[in-house]
């Protein structure tokens, strides 16, 4: 019997479009001799629905979108769960939801209650990795170097603007980056070189989140590492994008056709192994399982700073995560999906041995 693979995509998130692009690539790659794919589209309003079974031929973002039968989120979720996801036989859920309401532990919590295996990180690690402020505390406790930063909450900003600006300018300085605490794909992030830009950047970030992180700029290279696995994770060879952007923002990441990947990244002797070790350490410190991409800054003096961990990195054919594995050990895109499904099933089976009664 084929395993039913429920692919969740879209989502109530500003990274909605990124999720749709990921879903197209994943659905194209699924081995139909082993898996029966059931696409589940989540609208921008958080409504669940499905376009039905789709063939790979002519698969596109537009075809993945559907009109929900119910306008109430609870009824739409219930319709999908009681219908499609209640079908008999082995099943696995593949959440391809980037950002809030999907990558932050919310959907993972629902899947835990349903007691179904799902690909990727669990509730806690999903929440920790998406929240940059909390993640930085975990990294500090693990003794992993980071750049200077400050966390600011909206109510604190309203009450103490002058003091916060003074603190940022004296402890962090310019250039600095202002980031929504819980968001990805460089959305809502600003590079600030003076007070006027800092004020604008703070207001921009608060439009996406009520907590933000302000960081000192590290002038250097951004090195990425793909990590895969549960209890004994493995790290890929490091990679980097070659570009000439001062700030690698959303448009630069997704629109610039001139981007090229350097995998493995050209690094000094010993640095490659050190980066891979640190990536695994950060992964385990957050309790990650399944997958994550760990991003570092490497400055001109050869010092490493961990930038962030992405629990659901970009996953198209041209994304760094799958390409790093292909160039590390020859794992193809389809094989990588199957490895992730295998880790999901193994974690779920291990959890079934836990006792919930005395």
Q: 180-232, pLDDT tens digit by residue?
A: 998 766 788 999 999 999 999 999 999 999 999 999 999 999 999 999 999 99
Pair 9, 19: CB distance under 8 Å: yes
Omega within 30 of 0 (cis) for the link into 312 = no
CA distance 220 to 297: 6
Task: Say whether 15 is catalytic.
Answer: yes
pLDDT band at 244; cut points 50, 70, 90: low
State the pLDDT at residue 186.
74
Residue 319 falls in the annotated catalytic set: yes
Are 223 and 317 in contact by the 8 Å Cβ rule? The answer is: no
Q: Where is the binding site for Mg(2+), in residues?
A: 295, 308, 310
Extents of the domains making up the chain = 3-118, 148-216, 219-350
Query: Among the ranges 251-260, 285-294, 349-358, which has the highest mean pLDDT value?
Result: 285-294
Out of 19, 125, 190, 319, the active site residue is 319
> What pTM did the predictor assign?
0.92
Q: Rounded mean pLDDT of 329-343?
A: 96
pLDDT at 105: 95
pLDDT at 106 over 80: yes
The pLDDT of residue 311 is 93
Active-site annotation holder among 29, 50, 185, 236: 185
What's the average model confidence in pLDDT over 51-73?
91
Please report where in the chains the tokens 């060879």 appear, as a residue: 237
The CA radius of gyration of the chain, in Å to the nearest whole number, is: 21
Q: Is the pLDDT of residue 134 over 80?
A: yes
Annotated binding site: 295, 308, 310
Q: What is the pLDDT of residue 216?
A: 97
Distance between CA atoms of 226 and 237, rounded to whole angstroms?
A: 8
3-state helix/strand/coil string of the chain:
CCEEEEEEEECCCCCHHHHHHHHHHHHHHCCCCCEEEEEEEECCCCCEECCCCCCCCCCCHHHHCCCCCCCCHHHHHHHHHHCHHHCCCCEEEEECCCCCCCCCCHHHHHHHHHCCCECCCCHHHHHHHHCHHHHHHHHHHCCCCCCCEEEEEHHHHHHCHHHHHHHHHHHCCCCEEEEECCCCCCCCCEEECCHHHHHHHHHHHHCCCCEEEEEECCCEEEEEEEEEECCCCEECCCEEEECCCCCCCHHHHHHCCCCEEECCCCCCCCHHHHHHHHHHHHHHHCCCCEEEEEEEEEECCCCEEEEEEECCCCCCCCCHHHHHHHHHHCCCHHHHHHHHHHHHHHHHHHHCCCCCCC
**How would CATH label the architecture of 219-350?**
2-Layer Sandwich (3.30)
Q: What pLDDT was estimated at residue 247?
A: 60
Average pLDDT in the chain: 93
pLDDT at position 255 is: 56
Q: Is 55 a catalytic residue?
A: no
User: ∠ CA(226), CA(231), CA(236), 5° rounding?
Assistant: 20
> What is the phi/psi pair of residue 297, to 5°?
-110, 140
> For the residues 242-271, what does the mean pLDDT come to?
73
pLDDT for residue 114: 95
| End-to-end Cα separation, the chain, in angstroms | 36
At residue 249, the pLDDT reads: 56
Q: Write out pLDDT tens, residues 304-331.
A: 999 999 999 988 888 999 999 999 999 9
Q: Which residues contact 74 (CB under 8 A, 6 or more apart)?
A: none
* Catalytic site residue from 13, 15, 125, 240: 15
* Topology adopted by domain 3-118: Rossmann fold (3.40.50)
Is 267 in contact with 275 (CB distance < 8 Å)?
yes
Instruction: Look up the CATH number of domain 148-216.
Output: 3.30.1490.20
């Amino acid at each position: 019997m084929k395993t039913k693979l429920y692919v969740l995509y879209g989502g109530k998130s500003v990274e909605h479009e990124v999720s749709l692009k990921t879903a197209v690539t994943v659905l194209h790659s699924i081995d139909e001799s082993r898996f029966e794919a059931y696409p589940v589209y989540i609208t921008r309003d958080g409504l669940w629905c499905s376009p039905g079974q789709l063939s790979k031929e002519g698969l596109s973002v537009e075809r993945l979108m559907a009109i929900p039968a119910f306008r109430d989120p609870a009824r739409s979720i219930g319709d999908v769960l009681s219908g499609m996801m209640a079908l008999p036989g082995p099943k696995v859920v593949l959440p391809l939801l980037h950002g809030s309401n999907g990558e932050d532990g919310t959907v993972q919590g629902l899947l835990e209650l349903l007691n179904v295996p799902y690909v990727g990180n669990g509730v806690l690690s999903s929440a920790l990795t998406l929240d940059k402020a909390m993640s930085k505390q975990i990294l500090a406790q693990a003794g992993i170097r980071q750049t200077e930063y400050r966390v600011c909450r909206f109510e604190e900003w309203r009450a103490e603007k002058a003091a916060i600006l003074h603190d940022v300018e004296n402890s962090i300085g310019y250039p600095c980056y202002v980031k929504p605490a819980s968001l990805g794909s460089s959305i809502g992030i600003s590079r600030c070189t003076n007070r006027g830009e800092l004020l604008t950047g703070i207001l921009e970030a608060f439009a996406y989140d009520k907590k933000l992180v302000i960081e000192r700029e590290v002038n250097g290279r951004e090195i990425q590492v793909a990590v895969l696995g549960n209890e004994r994770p493995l790290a890929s060879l490091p990679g980097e994008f070659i570009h000439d952007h001062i700030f690698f923002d959303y448009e630069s990441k997704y629109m610039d056709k001139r981007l090229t990947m350097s995998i493995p990244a050209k690094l000094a002797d010993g640095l490659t192994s050190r980066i891979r070790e640190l990536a695994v350490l950060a992964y385990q410190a957050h309790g990650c399982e399944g997958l994550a991409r760990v991003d570092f800054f490497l400055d001109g003096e050869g010092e490493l700073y961990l930038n962030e961990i992405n629990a659901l990195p970009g996953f198209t054919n041209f994304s760094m995560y799958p390409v790093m594995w292909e160039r590390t050990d020859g794992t193809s895109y389809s094989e990588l999906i199957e490895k992730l499904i295998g880790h999901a099933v193994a974690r779920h089976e291990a959890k079934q041995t836990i006792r919930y009664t005395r």
